């Protein structure tokens, strides 16, 4: 009995021992599972709390991967497009063997610096660029290397099919596809709401944006200005053409320029006035010489200070203290008002200004917006330099375009207004209807004054300094005014360095386009030619009109009736009286 009892006790003790061991093991397993699950839970919490880096090297990912809208000319031709480009990046913390990765990558891209690459791939960073905008062939070779920690990001690379022909209009983008110049920068800088209204907001599947530029006109201007640099051995040349009714810019060229497809040419593209590749149409300000006489005449005619039938004594120079202002090729006789314009008489223009009054001339310049920057669609703009008040001598020189500096964009807007029945519209690089332009149009002179300005411009083309221009553009009824200004070197004018300008409009019987052409420091083309604007900027204008007028639907017409219709009524009476006397 005692033996049985002992056996039962022993069996019971064994069960208890095994039960205790089992429980201990279960507790251990549970503890391990709790630790594991706690670790997983903690990691999940950590990952959930981690904010994903939304930038790459300080640039937002959505900006890097975003596309830009295709830019089209007014006829639907592509001026700027996005093309997909693979870019190689690395996650250094996932690189297993840095040295091996460096060696393999340099077999595909041997120009990569080994030391730089090794430093780039070392560390615990989550993202570093290795090479941006690769070709598909290079992408395939890198992919075949099979290096852990390397991957590709598809970016949008900007491409400009027309190369540098429209560089100062379009501008450029940086490696992150962000606008740095021109219309590209404007699209990035403008208010988001405005951009969305224009269809320019950044994002995917953007609608194309139509610009006002006509690539046919742009090419013609570019070609003729490039020829001018060689033909006249000039240091620079520029030109702009504007629709006088809508304000649309059809062409804008400034040489020297740059190629937006080649970043190495962009570094010196815009360096204030220290570089040579700045936009001379918008950022350059100049004394535009006798082209300003058009403005003086318009102001005096509009205010009734003179009429076209008046006579002006230009027989002697105008004295200011010990200085005398004379004419370049003076007639030194009494001139009619049209003759003052045709012969570009400084003496006659000063006397017309004096009849108008210096304060009235200054106020008229404000009305034309010549003392403020022109509202425009590129950021490369510069304020004009116009004295706030005019003394007698400053007003005298300003009347023929000296002592004040404005941009060619100022001048083309003013000429457009003076031939457009006196209504001034703001220039734009975006397409705009005549109705929309009319809403913001500002009347600066009367329609009657505008008609007289058109007559004077055409008279100068037929009989004055614009006659060489008319030889090339004959039949397209162009009117214009030359301006040859000595450039300021240091603190004095240099007679051997001039700026030649030609401001024009066509066809003057029904004006549609205004244009300003600038040739900087031209030389004589040959022994029989000269350096004044009629020989260079005027000829360039004529060649451009000859090329583009048929493209724009303007047919040549050599009928005298068009010019006869431009003669103002008061002059017809005078001419009829003269003929009757004969």
Residues belonging to the active site? 290
How far apart, in whole angstroms, are the C-alpha atoms of residue 61 and residue 338? 64
DSSP 8-state secondary structure symbol assigned to residue 92: G
**Residue 191, Ramachandran bin (φ over 0: left; ψ between -120 and 50: alpha; else beta):** beta
Q: Which pair of tokens denotes residue 394?
A: 């400053």
Report helix, strand or coil for 188. helix
Report the relative pairing of strands 249-255 and 236-243 from DSSP bridges: antiparallel
Helix runs in 277-342, H state only: 293-302, 337-342
How far apart, in whole angstroms, are the C-alpha atoms of residue 69 and residue 81? 7
How far apart, in whole angstroms, are the C-alpha atoms of residue 3 and residue 20? 26
Q: Which pair of tokens denotes residue 354?
A: 């004096």
How far apart, in whole angstroms, are the C-alpha atoms of residue 513 and residue 534? 20
Q: Which pair of tokens denotes residue 427?
A: 């220039």
Decide: residue 548, CB within 10 A, 0-12 exposed, 13-18 middle, 19+ buried.
buried
CB of 56 closer than 8 Å to CB of 64: yes
DSSP structure string for 526-565:
STT--SSGGGTHHHHHHHHHHHHHHHTTPPP---HHHHHH
Task: Output Rg (C-alpha) for the chain, integer angstroms.
Answer: 37
How far apart, in whole angstroms, are the C-alpha atoms of residue 160 and residue 82? 9
Distance of CA 319 to the CA centre of its chain: 42
Torsion sign, CA atoms 274, 277, 282, 285: positive
How far apart, in whole angstroms, are the C-alpha atoms of residue 230 and residue 232? 6
CB of 314 closer than 8 Å to CB of 473: no
How far apart, in whole angstroms, are the C-alpha atoms of residue 523 and residue 513? 28
Opening angle at CA 272, ends 270 and 274, nearest 5: 100
φ/ψ (deg, to 5) at 211: -95, 170
Largest CA distance in the chain: 170
| Contacts of residue 145, Cβ cutoff 8 Å, sequence gap at least 6 | 104, 105, 107, 108
| Contacts of residue 481, Cβ cutoff 8 Å, sequence gap at least 6 | 290, 291, 293, 294, 341, 344, 457, 460, 465, 466, 502, 503, 504
The residue to which tokens 């340099």 are assigned? 106
φ/ψ (deg, to 5) at 568: -65, 155
Question: Nearest Cα to 405, choosing from 296, 532, 283, 503?
Answer: 283
């Amino acid at each position: 009995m005692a033996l049985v009892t002992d056996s039962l006790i022993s069996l019971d003790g064994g069960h208890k021992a095994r039960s205790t061991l089992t429980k201990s093991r279960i507790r251990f397993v549970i503890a391990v599972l709790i630790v594991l699950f706690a670790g997983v839970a903690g990691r999940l919490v950590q990952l959930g709390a981690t904010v994903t880096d939304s930038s790459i090297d300080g640039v937002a990912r959505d900006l890097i991967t975003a596309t830009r809208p295709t830019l089209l000319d007014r006829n639907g031709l592509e001026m700027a497009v996005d093309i997909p480009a693979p870019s190689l990046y690395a996650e250094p913390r996932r690189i297993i063997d840095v040295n091996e990765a460096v060696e393999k990558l340099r077999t595909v891209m041997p120009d990569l610096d080994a030391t730089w690459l090794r430093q780039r791939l070392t560390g615990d960073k989550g993202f570093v660029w290795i090479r941006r905008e690769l070709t598909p062939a290079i992408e395939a070779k890198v992919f075949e290397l099979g290096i852990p920690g390397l991957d590709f990001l598809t970016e949008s690379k900007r491409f400009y099919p027309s190369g540098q022909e429209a560089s100062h209009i379009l501008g450029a983008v940086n490696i992150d596809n962000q606008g740095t110049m021109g219309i590209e920068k404007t699209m990035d800088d403008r208010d988001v709401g405005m951009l969305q209204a224009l269809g320019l907001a950044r994002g995917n599947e953007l609608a194309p944006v139509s610009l006002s530029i006509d690539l046919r006109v742009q090419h013609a201007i570019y070609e003729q200005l490039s020829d001018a640099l060689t033909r006249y051995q000039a240091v620079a040349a520029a030109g702009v053409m504007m629709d006088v009714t809508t304000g649309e810019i059809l062409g804008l060229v400034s040489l020297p320029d740059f190629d937006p497809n080649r970043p190495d040419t962009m570094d010196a593209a815009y360096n204030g006035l220290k570089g040579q590749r700045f936009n001379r149409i918008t950022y350059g300000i100049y004394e535009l010489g006798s082209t300003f006489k058009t403005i003086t005449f318009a102001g005096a005619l509009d205010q009734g200070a003179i009429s076209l039938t008046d006579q002006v004594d230009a027989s002697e120079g105008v004295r200011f203290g010990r200085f005398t202002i004379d004419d370049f090729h003076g007639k030194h006789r009494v001139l009619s008002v049209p003759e003052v314009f045709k012969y570009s008489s400084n003496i006659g223009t000063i006397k017309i200004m004096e009849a108008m009054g210096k304060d009235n001339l200054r106020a008229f310049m404000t009305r034309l917006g010549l003392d403020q920057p022109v509202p425009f669609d590129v950021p490369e703009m510069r304020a004009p330099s116009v004295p706030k008040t005019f003394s007698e001598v400053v007003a005298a020189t300003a009347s023929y375009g000296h002592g004040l500096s404005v941009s060619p964009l100022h001048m083309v807007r003013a000429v457009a207004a003076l031939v457009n029945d006196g209504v001034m519209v703001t220039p734009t690089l975006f397409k705009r209807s005549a109705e929309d332009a009319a809403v913001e149009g500002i009347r600066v002179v009367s329609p009657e004054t505008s008609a007289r300005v058109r007559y004077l411009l055409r008279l100068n083309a037929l009989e004055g300094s614009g006659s060489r221009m008319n030889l090339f553009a004959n039949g397209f009824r162009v009117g214009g005014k030359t301006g040859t200004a000595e450039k300021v070197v240091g603190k004095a004018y240099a007679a051997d360095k001039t700026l030649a300008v030609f401001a024009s409009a066509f066809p003057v019987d029904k004006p549609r386009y205004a244009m300003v052409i600038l040739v900087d420091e031209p030389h004589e083309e040959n022994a029989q030619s000269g350096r004044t604007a009629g020989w260079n900027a005027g000829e360039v204008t004529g060649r451009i009109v000859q090329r583009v007028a048929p493209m724009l639907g303007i047919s040549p017409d050599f009928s005298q009736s068009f010019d006869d219709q431009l003669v103002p009524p008061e002059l017809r009476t005078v001419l009829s009286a003269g003929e009757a006397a004969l």
